[in-house]
Structures are given as structure tokens and as C-alpha cells.
Amino acid sequence: MVLVYVEHKDGKFKKNILEAVTYGKKTADMLSTECAALVIGNADTSALGTYGADKVYTLNADGLGDFDSQSYSSAIANTASQIGAKVVLMSDTASAKTLLGRVAVKLDAACISAASSLPKVEGDSIVVTSGTFSGKAIAHYSLSGDTKVMSINGNTIKPEELGAAGATEAISVAVDAPGVKVIGQDTLSSERAPLPEAELVVSAGRGMKGPENWGIIEELADAIGATTACSRPVADTGWRPHHEHVGQTGVAIRPNLYFAIGISGAIQHLAGVNSSKVIVVINKDPEAPFFKAADYGVCADLFDVVPKLTAALKKG
Amino acid sequence: MKQLVCISRTPETTANIALNGDGTDIQTDGLNYILNPYDEWYALVRALELKEAQGGTVTVINVGGAENDIVIRKALAIGADDAIRVDAQPSSAMAVAKMIADATKDGAYDIVYCGKESIDYNGSMTASMLAEYLGLPFVSYASHMDVSGNTATIKRDIEGGTETVEVPTPFVLSAAKGLAEQRIPNMRGIMMAKRKPINVVSPGEAKNNAVVSMYELPKGKGDIKMIDPDNMEELVRLLKEEAKVL
């Protein structure tokens, strides 16, 4: 059995979670077994069958009210043991980063985070790729042993309507007491997708000359429903908030389309964005290193060209 | 308060990564190594700030050979009191976490820090594995922390925002940007670091069942298409019809 832990927010599943379900079903097919999803709390589970879950386990228990690594990892590991799951998957989210290692230690499993390819089954081992050196190289990891635990990068595969049964069953397992108490959450009211999940990203750098000029970047992003990002110097000088910083020591992203505007393209920046499918660079310096890493380039003053691009996008 | 900071040695951020002939390993000749930025800038400095405010000690621990002593001395120069080096090559997150747990489980540390990830393997796994081996609560991606008595209030990064949690000591955290500001070691710190102890210990038993069988480099981009700045309609057309990303 392959078990996919499916996170939800207010009972709804995001696209990256459904990707993980489809990934789980494809992995189960390779191993000639079934794919089960585990839902903690209450959610509309109908989509899980659609995207590949043969079976859906729902779990409600004391200690699972707020997210905590000890209670949630015990719930996932004990469910895996109870149903005999040999592969445990989850989408590579902030929660996954908190849970994954704990679940792997509990199950004495081989573990890899942020897998970026479907697995290859080689005997008793599973081989998957994952980015290393902040995107400067890709490693093929061979996971051996009886049990494997993996998180899956967003945008690794597309969710597919596979139409599995998705029969729901309540499950009961032992759950450890939470060690951490959640006091509150402060999520941005932004309509934009968080950077790690974003398919379209508009990013700008020092070429903007100052924070007061970001209006044209916001307008470009709004025209296509993109998420805004920035380079490290821009975040460090406080022109933009730190959570927008993409690059080696910021957020690593892999959108379908990345606009780099007024960013020279230092190696540390490229490392965090070079998994983007398509890169467009706008820079007035023809020697900017970013042009060497781009698919499309515009060598011009960004203050002139960005509004023209926004207008062209709005015209459709 | 007794604090422990787990530190890692990584290639510098500007390093170019090349592979050996058959792609089974990266070329290490000519690579310069640094203290992993998340460990140094955020984890270590926040631990030192807390020590300065509330007293106690800061110990750093690293898994590696004697070649790692240079980055360990840097952590001591920045202000750590002493160091432990587990004398083994770090083969996987699981092995490193197990070795650190074995070397420190009787140390009665109140706060155990890791960086949010090392900038070489980027796995972000060691801290949560270590928390599990130590049986302690864990807070990932901490970007702000206040400690009062035996309770820490921590802001951690989540998708699209932050979450604030309360956790009793002892616990494990992973440090993200914002937790502290980078400190440059001064001459006095560098001189004092030479006299601080690095205790070399033998590794506990650990297995490695997640091995890298091969590396590849990302596929280079083909030739760039330059677009006339006065014809943004053409760029939009290419993004829709050729690249199919809009």
C-alpha cells in the first residue's frame, strides 16, 4: 500500500496536494498495489478519489486540533503501520518539512524530501531525483529498505483525473500528545498564490531604483494573476518583505513562467530560480549574466518596457 | 540555559558545481567551503543573543572529519563556548541526525538549533529527524523567538505567512531568515577561538538507506530569443503559442 498524507485548509485541498495524490496512485501502480489517502480532521474528500486515491482514511482524535509535529507524525506513522503502507508520501509543504523526518525515524524508513520526478522501481529500491546545491545540480537518490518516506515538490506532475474509487473509512490509531501550542496565524490577505506554489512569478531587483517604483511590477503581476518576488539585495535593504526573496538563501521556486526584471542574475539568485520552466529577462544591461540563463530577453529600460508588456498582456 | 547549535560545512554560495567524469560525484577540487549560512547567520547568532541576555552556554556540534575544524573555529570565533565534532563523514540526513542525537542526548540542552536547511543538499530533514531521535517538540523555520523562563514563543514561516507557537524547553528548532542578524567575528574572537576546545567523539551506529547513485546538471537553456522592446505583443504571443505558459 502507498499512503499519501493529504493536508487541507478549511476542508479544501490545494493543487499541490492533488498532485501528490496522483503521484501516489502512479507509484502504487508501479508497485502493483493500491493508493490510500489519509485526511486528518474534516474535509470534502470527493476530490481524492477523482485524482487517484483508491481508499480514503479519515482520522479525528484528541491532539490533532492544531498542527504539531509530534501528534501529526505519530498519526501518520501509526496509520502507515496499521494499513501496512511501505511508501508514505506528502506534498513538500511547510508542514511536510516539519513532519517528514519524524515520520521516517518512527518507521525506520529511507527518506528524501522535495522529490522532483516520478519514482523508478529498481528491485526493492526506489530511485527519485531531488535538487541539490540549491538547484545547481540534480541528485538521483536510491532509497532502500522496507519502507520509504518522501515529500513531493509542487509542479512535479499535474493532477490527473484518474477516477479511483476513493471509498472513505474512519480509522482509529494512537496519537501522541502535541508538544507545541499554536497561538495564532498571520497569513497575508494577498489574493496571490504563495511563492512555492505559484505557477507565474514576476520578480524584480535593484534595477527598480527604489520601493516607490514597485507599482508597475504589481500591475504586471495582476494582469496575469502572478505572484511577486524579489532578489536578495532588495529584501535586505527593506524595499520588499523578506518572504518575497527568491534565491539560494531565500525561497527556491519552480514556476512555469518567471519574469526577472532589473535583476542581474548572480549565481546565488539563479540557483533558486533555474528550475523555472520558462524565464523572461528584462534588463537594460546587455552584459547582465541573467540573459545567459533565459529563454526570452528584452534589453531595454524596464520603466519603459514593463508598462508596455502589461498593456500587451491585458489586450490578450 | 544550555544551548546546542548543529552546524554544517557547505560549498560557498558562489561555488560553481561540476561533476566528475561518470556523474557519480561532484568535483570537489577547488571548492571553497563555508559554515552553512542558516546555521551561522540565524541559529548561532540567536543562541548567542540569548546567552548574552540570560546567561548559560552555547555549544556547537558538527559531523565531519578534521577538515571541518576551520568552520568549527569560525563558530567559536563568533562566540560559541565549545564544540563537539563527531568524527564521521556525513552520509545522509538520517545518519547525521542519529549521530548528533547519540552524542548529545545526555547533554540536557534546553534549546537545540539547526539551520532550516544546508545549502548543499537542501533536504530540511535533519532537524525534524533529530527532534524525533531526542523525543523533543520541534518548531520548523523559526523567524522570531522570545524566551521567558521555560517557555519560548516562536514565529515560524508557513505558506503565505507566519504561525505563532508556544513551546516549553527543551525543544528543537530550525532557524530561518529573520531569527537574528549575521555577526562578523572580530580579532579578539578569532584569537580566543584558538584556545576553545573541540571535543572529537566517535560516531554512534547509523545506517544510510538514501544514497545518491548519480548526479546530473540542470539542462542548459537553448539560445535566448531577444525581443524588440517596442513589440511586447510579440513576447506575449511567444509565451502563449511557443512556450505555452500563458
Per residue in A295-306, pLDDT tens? 999 999 999 999
pLDDT of res. A289: 94
pLDDT of res. A148: 98
Mean of all residue pLDDT scores within chain A: 95
Instruction: Give the pLDDT confidence of B21-49 residue by residue, as tens digits.
Output: 899 999 999 899 999 999 999 999 999 99
d(CA A161, nearest CA chain B) in Å = 21
Better pLDDT: A250 or A288: A288
> With left for phi above 0 and alpha for psi between -120 and 50, is residue B149 left, alpha or beta?
left
Please report the number of interchain residue pairs, chain A to chain B, with beta-carbon separation below 8 angstroms.
268
Q: CB-side exposure of A28: number of CA atoms within 13 Å?
A: 24
Q: Are A7 and A91 in contact (CB under 8 A)?
A: yes
Q: What is the mean pLDDT of residues A112-117?
A: 96
d(CA A141, nearest CA chain B) in Å = 4
Better pLDDT: A176 or A198: A176
Q: Does A179 touch chain B (CB under 8 A)?
A: yes
Q: CB-side exposure of B242: number of CA atoms within 13 Å?
A: 10
Q: Are A28 and A34 in contact (CB under 8 A)?
A: yes
Cβ–Cβ below 8 Å for A298 and B11? no
pLDDT at A205 over 90: yes
φ/ψ (deg, to 5) at A307:
-60, -35
- CA A168 from chain centre, in angstroms, equals 26
Instruction: Give the pLDDT confidence of A135-172 residue by residue, as tens digits.
Output: 889 999 999 999 999 999 988 999 999 999 999 999 99
Q: Does A308 touch chain B (CB under 8 A)?
A: yes
Give chain B's domains with CATH numbers: 2-218 (3.40.50.620)
Q: What is the mean pLDDT of residues A119-135?
A: 94
Instruction: Give the pLDDT confidence of A21-43 residue by residue, as tens digits.
Output: 999 999 999 999 999 999 999 99
Which cell numbers in the block locate residue B226? 531577444
Chain A residues whose beta carbon lies within 8 Å of the beta carbon of residue B120? 132-133
Chain A residues whose beta carbon lies within 8 Å of the beta carbon of residue B27? none
Chain B residues whose beta carbon lies within 8 Å of the beta carbon of residue A268? 13-14
Environment class of residue B183 by beta-carbon count within 10 Å: exposed (0-12), middle (13-18) or buried (19+)?
Answer: middle
- Provide ipTM, 2 decimals: 0.94
pLDDT of res. B10: 97
Range in A24-38, A238-252, B4-18 with the lowest mean pLDDT = A238-252
Instruction: Give the pLDDT confidence of A209-226 residue by residue, as tens digits.
Output: 999 999 999 999 999 999
Q: Does A142 touch chain B (CB under 8 A)?
A: yes
Range in A155-159, A260-264, B147-151 with the lowest mean pLDDT = A155-159
Instruction: Give the pLDDT confidence of B130-142 residue by residue, as tens digits.
Output: 999 999 999 999 9
Cβ–Cβ below 8 Å for A104 and B94? yes
d(CA B190, CA A178) in angstroms, rounded, equals 42
d(CA A101, CA B132) in angstroms, rounded, equals 8
pLDDT of res. A30: 97
pLDDT of res. A242: 85
Q: Does A93 touch chain B (CB under 8 A)?
A: yes
Residue of B nearest to A104 (CA): B129
d(CA B80, CA B58) in angstroms, rounded, equals 5
Chain B residues whose beta carbon lies within 8 Å of the beta carbon of residue A291? 224
- Kind plus residue range of the DSSP H or E element containing A95: helix A94-107
φ/ψ (deg, to 5) at A221:
-65, -45
List, as one string, the DSSP characters of A191-205.
SSPPGGG-SEEEEE-
Instruction: Give the pLDDT confidence of B65-118 residue by residue, as tens digits.
Output: 999 999 999 999 999 999 999 999 999 999 999 999 999 999 999 999 999 999
pLDDT at A189 over 80: no
SS3 B160: coil
Which cell numbers in the block locate residue A248? 539560494
pTM: 0.93
Chain A residues whose beta carbon lies within 8 Å of the beta carbon of residue B160? 187-188, 190, 194
| Percentage of chain B exceeding pLDDT 90 | 92
pLDDT of res. A275: 87
| Partner residue facing A300 (CB), from B116, B141, B229 | B229
| Partner residue facing A293 (CB), from B138, B221, B239 | B221
| Percentage of chain A exceeding pLDDT 70 | 99
Cβ–Cβ below 8 Å for A110 and B133? no
| Partner residue facing A102 (CB), from B128, B212, B216 | B128
pLDDT of res. A207: 97
Q: Which of residues 6-65 of A touch B (CB under 8 A)?
A: none
**Planar angle of CA A252, A254, A257, nearest 5 degrees:** 125
Q: How many residues does chain A have?
A: 316
CB burial string A73-100: b at 16+ within 10 A, e below: bbbbbbbbeebebbbbbbbbbbbbbbbb
pLDDT at A285 over 80: yes
Residue of B nearest to A106 (CA): B132
pLDDT of res. A190: 66
Q: Does A69 touch chain B (CB under 8 A)?
A: yes
Kindly report the number of other CB atoms within 10 A of residue B102's CB atom.
17
- Spatial neighbors of B147 by CB under 8 A, at least 6 apart, are B1, B50, B54, B111, B153, B169
d(CA A60, CA A75) in angstroms, rounded, equals 10
Band of pLDDT at residue A245, cut at 50, 70 and 90: very high
pLDDT at A188 over 80: no
Q: What is the mean pLDDT of residues B119-129?
A: 95
Better pLDDT: A248 or B205: B205
Cβ–Cβ below 8 Å for B216 and A186? no
Q: What is the mean pLDDT of residues A108-114?
A: 97
pLDDT at A187 over 90: no
d(CA B207, CA A111) in angstroms, rounded, equals 12
Q: Which of B57, B61, B79 has the alpha carbon at shortest distance from B6?
A: B61
Chain A residues whose beta carbon lies within 8 Å of the beta carbon of residue B224? 281, 291-292, 294-297
